[in-house]
């Protein structure tokens, strides 16, 4: 997977590619990073990259000619999807991360100020993606979230086992996890996890996944049911835990006691 990132502050992105698991993925040649400093494409000696919006209003917009030149420098026939990180984009989800990871290259355009001239979106952008319903001051933070969620899905970056029962896989959140010590303060690791009984552990974990999802994200349960995502065992647990009652999209609910 190749990430080409267009930014006014590429140093924010550089440090991520030089750290931890990502640095290893880059050194093993699994991930490639191409930073593009938008300011290098400015047209004047002051390296101006922004101007006031037509029609008035607060703030500045990134200049289309500068962005156009920066994009032209990286776009070729073989290039991947051009994505503008934008609060007005379609929501970024685990499913979208899985879709994006099938691309050979992602070209990520990071906005600043009040955003970018619409004509750049019309001319070059394949996808506008938002990382959530809030406004960040910069596209770099959003690009990093997208990069982080996608590169770990690339083959050989982490073990595929780690991805199997993660939150959102199979339409459920992850089960609670514990490590040493067995007793922390007054809190004990659930007995079943110490039993070595793999089938009981598997059943306990599935139950906890359903419980947690019903409590924190009932919208995921509803969507999973609608799309026929759940197997018989999961459907039975949902019913047993009261998940067949009418759910609201958000909000917490209490669960029946575990037997």
Quick one: which of 57, 91, 132, 251 contacts ligand SAM (CB under 6 A)? 132
Q: Please state, in angstroms and rounded to a whole number, the distance separating the CA atoms of residues 177 and 68.
A: 47
Instruction: Please tell me the distance from the alpha carbon of residue 179 to that of residue 174, in angstroms, as a whole number.
Output: 15
Instruction: Please tell me whether residue 54 binds ligand SAM under the rule CB under 6 A.
Output: no
Among 32, 51, 114, 240, binds ligand SAM (CB under 6 A): 114
Please state, in angstroms and rounded to a whole number, the distance separating the CA atoms of residues 190 and 177: 10
Nearer CB in complex with ligand SAM: 140/211? 140
User: Of the candidates 64, 139, 224, 243, which one interacts with ligand SAM according to CB under 6 A?
Assistant: 139
Question: In the complex, what is the shortest distance from the CB of residue 140 to ligand SAM, in angstroms, rounded to a whole number?
Answer: 8
Cβ closest to ligand SAM, residue 5 vs residue 110: 110
User: Of the ranges 73-81, 117-125, 126-134, 213-221, which one interacts with ligand SAM (CB under 6 A)?
Assistant: 126-134
Of 6, 63, 121, 131, which one interacts with ligand SAM (CB under 6 A)? 131
Angle among Cα 145, 93, 130 to the nearest 5 degrees reads 60
Task: For residues 126 and 10, give the distance between their C-alpha atoms in angstroms, rounded to a whole number.
Answer: 22
Q: Is 130 in the site for ligand SAM (CB under 6 A)?
A: yes
Q: Is 55 in the site for ligand SAM (CB under 6 A)?
A: no
By CB under 6 A, residue 134 contacts ligand SAM: yes
Question: Which of 10, 80, 115, 218 is the binder for ligand SAM (CB under 6 A)?
Answer: 115
Neighbour tally for 101: CB within 10 Å:
17
Site string for ligand SAM, 77-106 (x = CB under 6 A): --------xxxx------------------
List of residues contacting ligand SAM (CB under 6 A): 85-88, 110-112, 114-115, 130-132, 134-139, 142
């Amino acid at each position: 997977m190749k990430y080409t990132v267009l930014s006014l502050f590429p140093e924010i992105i550089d440090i991520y590619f030089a750290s931890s698991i990502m640095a290893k993925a880059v050194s093993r040649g699994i991930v490639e990073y191409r930073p593009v400093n938008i300011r290098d494409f400015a047209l004047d000696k002051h390296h101006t990259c922004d101007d006031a919006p037509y029609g008035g209003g607060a703030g500045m917009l990134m200049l289309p000619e500068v962005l156009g030149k920066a994009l032209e420098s990286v776009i070729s026939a073989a290039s991947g999807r051009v994505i503008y990180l934008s609060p007005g984009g379609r929501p970024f989800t685990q499913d979208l991360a899985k879709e994006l990871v099938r691309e050979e290259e992602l070209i990520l355009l990071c906005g600043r100020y009040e955003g970018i001239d619409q004509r750049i979106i019309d001319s070059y952008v394949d996808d506008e993606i938002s990382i959530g319903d809030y406004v960040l001051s910069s596209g770099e933070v959003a690009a990093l979230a997208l990069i982080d969620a996608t590169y770990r899905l690339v083959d050989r970056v982490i073990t595929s086992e780690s991805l199997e029962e993660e939150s959102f896989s199979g339409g459920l959140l992850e089960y609670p996890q514990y490590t040493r010590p067995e007793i922390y303060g007054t809190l004990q690791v659930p007995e079943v996890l110490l039993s070595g009984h793999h089938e009981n552990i598997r059943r306990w974990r599935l139950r906890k996944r359903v419980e947690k999802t019903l409590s924190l994200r009932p919208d995921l349960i509803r969507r999973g049911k609608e799309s026929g995502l759940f197997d018989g065992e999961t459907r039975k647990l949902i019913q047993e835990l009261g998940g067949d009652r009418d759910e609201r999209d958000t909000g917490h609910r209490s669960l029946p006691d575990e037997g």
